[in-house]
Chains A and B, each alone.
Chain A
Amino acid sequence: MSLAEIKLLLSVHFGEDVVLGEETGGLQPALLIEPAHIANVCFFLRDHPLTYFDFLSCLTGVHHEKENRFEVVYHLASIPYQTQLTLKINTEKPVNESVLPSFPTLYHVYRTADWHEREAYDLIGINFEGHPDLRRILLPDDWEGFPLRKDYKSAEYYKGIKID
């Protein structure tokens, strides 16, 4: 199915306001999805006989510092149809620094999202609502800050030891 057909399929099933737009400039076109519906959209695309996007290849958290927003990019693949699809969801950076930007989890749709969401939480500081085990995965559990954010400043001390 082409991107336009998928877009049509989604707007027929969920209504017009689920697909916020599309990016067709690059080599891989992408659909922008309303963040609150992302889990339902993926669930629908996974099980629909015309799409069968049953494989989540990659989940990436991105910090756009200039636009002051956070983005999560999903790369889906369909094994029966041998097609690929990119979905993106965006949110503004919360005004309060201690509040993490938050998206719904895909844990219950693709189990791949389990560790990938933990990684996005660990390095970018994105909260995934409904994830049952959102611990840090690569960094120590008591690490301060989120290193892949563009405004991250590396710490001067780690547990009282000066870092040169």
Chain B
Amino acid sequence: MVNEAFLKYQQRIQNLSAEEMVLNMGPQHPSTHGVLRLELITDGEIVNEVIPHMGYLHRCFDKHAESMSYQQTIPFTDRLDYLSSMNNNHAFVMGVERMLGIDQEIPKRVEYIRVLVCELNRIGSHLIALGTYGIDIGAFTPFLWCFRDREHIMGLLEWASGARMLYNYIWVGGLFYDLPVGFEERCAEFVDYFKPKMVELNELLTNNQVFVNRTANVGILPLDVAINYGCSGPMLRGSGLKWDLRRVDGYSVYPELDFEIPVGKGEMGTKGDCWDRFKVRIDEIGESLKIIEQCVKRLQKELKRSPDFDPRGKLPRKIIPKAQDYYMRAENPKGELGFYFIADGKTEIPKRIKARGPSFNNLSVLPAICKGVMIADLVATIGSVDIVLGEVDR
């Protein structure tokens, strides 16, 4: 059963003018970062129109969530944005805790551990974004360096949770386990190891003249367009707006921590271009390192591990929120991750959950900012959006 709009779209493809040509980019193209298909209507090297086709990785998150309890849904949230599973867990769990009304009772140590692992994961996610962006532009070395450093983070998180990518570590009311003995010290070591590596990466890629020429003044996203399309995260901040939900909503223990919100300034070209978005991610890694240092200090001093501390102590026996609906939003590495819950108040199974993925909205702006650009610049722009198809398709 195809509808009118689909027939209109087919007509558009069939009635191309003589100069135009359809070029399918993806779903197996390396620079689409997953199974995204972009249908390009080109005139020589110029892209006249971009028509994205998604859904190759659709796994019915919403439908699955309607048939299992909140606790059982947490592993599914891992698979939304599989590069930042901790952040997904955290957002989902906070939403459920607020509906249950237990969000003020979570022990401080648990909150600090959550923030610590989330920020580690944020660095890991940004490292992939930066490294693969280098590959899109044609620089191979930064990719290997980023993956080498990300490996340390994966090792740390594997040590804590037992899994390398899909952690299921943050639970409603607590954690899967306390941190292993010696984790805080290893984190501090990692920060000391990683800081000089970022300086190297900046020398190699960020301030590289070839890289700057390929990314500055390319894929400019004006701020009003970004807001109207619902862009968030580094996309929105790259366009020059200080908007970070960790500060705006002040959830978890972020109000107690000291960090800056980097924004794009148009240093190399125009405000909101690909280089600005790249630079925002670089700066955010530095801020995350600051947060990790503060968390580690706190966890080693006033919130020290003690034998009677049980991260599962506050776990509710049955998770049955009152009949209500709640929209939880949190700052993921990619932007605003939202979960909309509708609870019926009788069962452990939610009536409806909708996940609002940041990549989904960030990607939707692509057809608007890629009209009339060269194909090579389109590749540069997609990379700077930093999409994860697990979250676009859900």
Interface, chain A (partner B; CB < 8 A): 25-28, 30, 54-58, 60, 62, 73, 75, 79, 82, 84, 86, 110-112, 114-115, 123, 131-144, 147-148
Q: Which of B98, B248, B352, B365 contacts A62 (CB 8 A)?
A: B352
Inter-subunit contact B338/A133 (CB<8 Å): no
- Chain B residue nearest to A145 (CB atoms) is B1
Q: How far is the CB of B190 from chain A (nearest CB, A)?
A: 34
Inter-subunit contact A144/B325 (CB<8 Å): no
Q: Let me know if B60 is at the binding interface, CB within 8 A.
A: yes
Within 8 A of A (CB), among B357-389: 360-361, 364-365, 368
Q: Let me know if B146 is at the binding interface, CB within 8 A.
A: no
Inter-subunit contact A139/B58 (CB<8 Å): yes
Q: What residues on A are CB-neighbors of B164 within 8 Å?
A: none
Q: How far is the CB of A26 from chain B (nearest CB, A)?
A: 3
Q: What residues on A are CB-neighbors of B361 within 8 Å?
A: 112, 115
- Chain B residue nearest to A144 (CB atoms) is B1
| Number of residues on chain B facing chain A (CB within 8 A) | 44
Within 8 A of A (CB), among B311-343: 322-327, 329, 336, 338, 340, 342
Whole-angstrom CA separation of A71 from B228 in the bound complex: 23
Q: What residues on B are CB-neighbors of A73 within 8 Å?
A: 325, 340
The verdict on A138 contacting B394 (CB below 8 Å), with A62-B342, A73-B340, A133-B9 known, is: yes
Q: What residues on B are CB-neighbors of A62 within 8 Å?
A: 342, 352
Q: Which of B227, B248, B338 contacts A75 (CB 8 A)?
A: B338
Q: How far is the CB of A138 from chain B (nearest CB, A)?
A: 4
Q: What residues on B are CB-neighbors of A25 within 8 Å?
A: 323-324
Inter-subunit contact A79/B227 (CB<8 Å): yes
16 contacts between A and B (CB under 8 A): A26-B325, A56-B230, A57-B327, A57-B329, A57-B336, A57-B356, A58-B340, A58-B354, A62-B342, A75-B340, A110-B230, A111-B230, A111-B368, A134-B3, A138-B55, A142-B2
Q: Which of A75, A110, A148 contacts B327 (CB 8 A)?
A: A75
Inter-subunit contact B352/A27 (CB<8 Å): no
Q: What residues on B are CB-neighbors of A28 within 8 Å?
A: 325-327
Q: How far is the CB of A129 from chain B (nearest CB, A)?
A: 12
- Name B's interface SS: mixed
Whole-angstrom CA separation of A110 from B58 in the bound complex: 25
Q: What residues on B are CB-neighbors of A143 within 8 Å?
A: 1
Inter-subunit contact B5/A133 (CB<8 Å): yes
Q: Let me know if B243 is at the binding interface, CB within 8 A.
A: yes
Q: How far is the CB of A69 from chain B (nearest CB, A)?
A: 14
Q: A84-B327, A114-B364, A133-B5 are in contact. List 8 more A-B contacts (CB 8 A).
A: A25-B324, A55-B230, A62-B342, A62-B352, A131-B5, A138-B54, A142-B1, A144-B1
The verdict on A135 contacting B340 (CB below 8 Å), with A86-B327, A112-B230 known, is: no
Inter-subunit contact A26/B9 (CB<8 Å): no
Q: What residues on A are CB-neighbors of B66 within 8 Å?
A: 148
Whole-angstrom CA separation of A110 from B229 in the bound complex: 7
Q: What residues on B are CB-neighbors of A112 within 8 Å?
A: 228-230, 361, 364
Q: What residues on A are CB-neighbors of B338 within 8 Å?
A: 57-58, 75
Q: What residues on B are CB-neighbors of A115 within 8 Å?
A: 360-361, 364
Q: How far is the CB of A159 from chain B (nearest CB, A)?
A: 13
Inter-subunit contact B336/A60 (CB<8 Å): no
Q: Let me know if B185 is at the binding interface, CB within 8 A.
A: no
Inter-subunit contact A27/B230 (CB<8 Å): no
Proximity bits, B243-271, A CB within 8 Å = 1, else 0: 10000100000000000000000000000
Whole-angstrom CA separation of A114 from B360 in the bound complex: 11
Q: Which of B324, B336, B356 contacts A27 (CB 8 A)?
A: B324
